[in-house]
Amino acid sequence: MKWYTLFPALTLFALPMFPFFDIYSSTLDLALLFGVLTASWDVLAGFTNYFNLGQAFMFGLGAYTSALLSVDWGATIPETMAASTLVSAIMGLLIGIPSLRIKGPYFSIFTLSLPLLFEQLTFIFPNQLGGERGIFGVHKLSHSLIGSYYATLVFALASLLVLYVIGASGTGLILKALGEDEDAVRANGLNPTTYKIFGFVISSVFAGLSGSVYANVFGFVEPMLFSYSVSLSVVVMGVLGGLGTIAGPFYAAFLVELLPPALGVGQTEATIIMTIVVMILLIRNPSRLHRIIRTEKVKVEAHPTKR
């Protein structure tokens, strides 16, 4: 990811000046949040080649954590966001430690089961988790369309910047190296598991934060946040944007979320269209599944860190 790829995002500050803003403001908010969600997924999938098919779990967990604390405990928005960050980090550790010991489709299947499980829990405990109706009355970041949009935009750009810094750091290079050759990383005296867990936790934290902001922007949460369609959309948008680029998945997610109103179709139809596009891309060039828009081979420098 090059630093100048962040510049196009700055143009998003001008969108409220256009006449269509009032009509599509909610869609723009959702597009920004899905951009962060997809970029957070790319930290693990794009760098280490561990395809998490359950990114919706952390997204929904962060949203429900904020909603429950806001509605049941009267917590402020900063408190709910801090709590969502902590819960996501802890869950990232608890899930990452055992799951990252398995590879390939087994890891993907394991992560796929997590959001499906929690979605069912919302139905089993309707009094506590709101059931199929969800939870309403969550404290909102702003009661104006422009205020909500700018708050979401600032969060999205700040998240994108942090993820970029992580990706460009020494730790980020090691994560990318893990996706190229895990044995080479181990041969340099580094513990691959430690770095994979770090990547999983970072991915989880920003997914949970996205969910928290979602709850505080829209004022409600629902079980659909855990649906497989959310996780599938993230994977599709991540592959379309370019694995391991951070900015690419962010922009792809933003554009894909704007596709349904632009084409006059529903979100399900739009996801199907994008899935077909991804399938065509992979058939034409199978290597895209492993690395897209990656031209330089990652080199791992020796570090004094011991296993």
pLDDT in tens, 270-285: 667 777 776 776 666 5
Neighbours of 90 (CB within 10 A): 12
| Helices 55-73, 192-218: crossing angle, 10 deg rounding | 50
DSSP 32-49: HHHHHHHHHHHHHHHHH-
Which is nearest to 159 in space by CA: 278, 22, 42, 295? 42
- Quick one: what percent of the chain has pLDDT higher than 70? 86
Residue 290 reports pLDDT greater than 60: no
Please provide residue 189's backbone torsions phi and psi, each rounded to the nearest 5 degrees: 85, 20
What is the rounded average pLDDT of the residues 219-229?
92
Hey, which residues does 136 pair with through a beta bridge?
A: 220
Query: What's the mean per-residue pLDDT of the chain?
Result: 86
pLDDT in tens, 49-89: 899 999 999 999 999 999 999 999 999 999 999 999 999 99
Matching residue, tokens 């590879």: 103
The pLDDT assigned to 236 comes to: 85
Half-sphere exposure of 49 (CA within 13 A, CB side): 19
Rounded CA Rg of the chain = 19
The pLDDT assigned to 102 comes to: 84
Between 96 and 279, the more confident residue is 96
Q: For residue 126, give Cα distances in angstroms to 2, 20, 129, 246.
A: 46, 38, 5, 37
User: The whole model's pTM is what?
Assistant: 0.87
Structure tokens at 77: 């928005």
The pLDDT assigned to 283 comes to: 66
The pLDDT assigned to 303 comes to: 43
Between 262 and 171, the more confident residue is 171
Matching residue, tokens 């550790």: 93
Structure tokens at 3: 């630093």
Q: Residue 221 belongs to what H/E stretch? A: strand 220-221
pLDDT in tens, 38-51: 999 999 999 998 99
Burial 153-163 (b: 16+ CB within 10 A, else e): bebbbebbeeb
Q: What domains appear along the chain, each with residue ranges and CATH number?
A: 24-289 (1.10.3470)
The pLDDT assigned to 301 comes to: 45
Structure tokens at 37: 């969600």
pLDDT in tens, 11-35: 888 889 888 888 889 999 999 999 9
pLDDT in tens, 141-193: 998 999 999 999 999 999 999 999 999 999 999 999 998 888 898 998 899 99
Q: Mean pLDDT lowest for which of 135-139, 217-221, 235-239, 289-293?
A: 289-293
Residue 286 reports pLDDT greater than 70: no
The pLDDT assigned to 125 comes to: 95
- Quick one: what percent of the chain has pLDDT higher than 90? 58
Matching residue, tokens 């190229």: 180
* Residue 97: Cβ-neighbour burial (10 angstroms; 0-12, 13-18, 19+): middle
Between 3 and 166, the more confident residue is 166
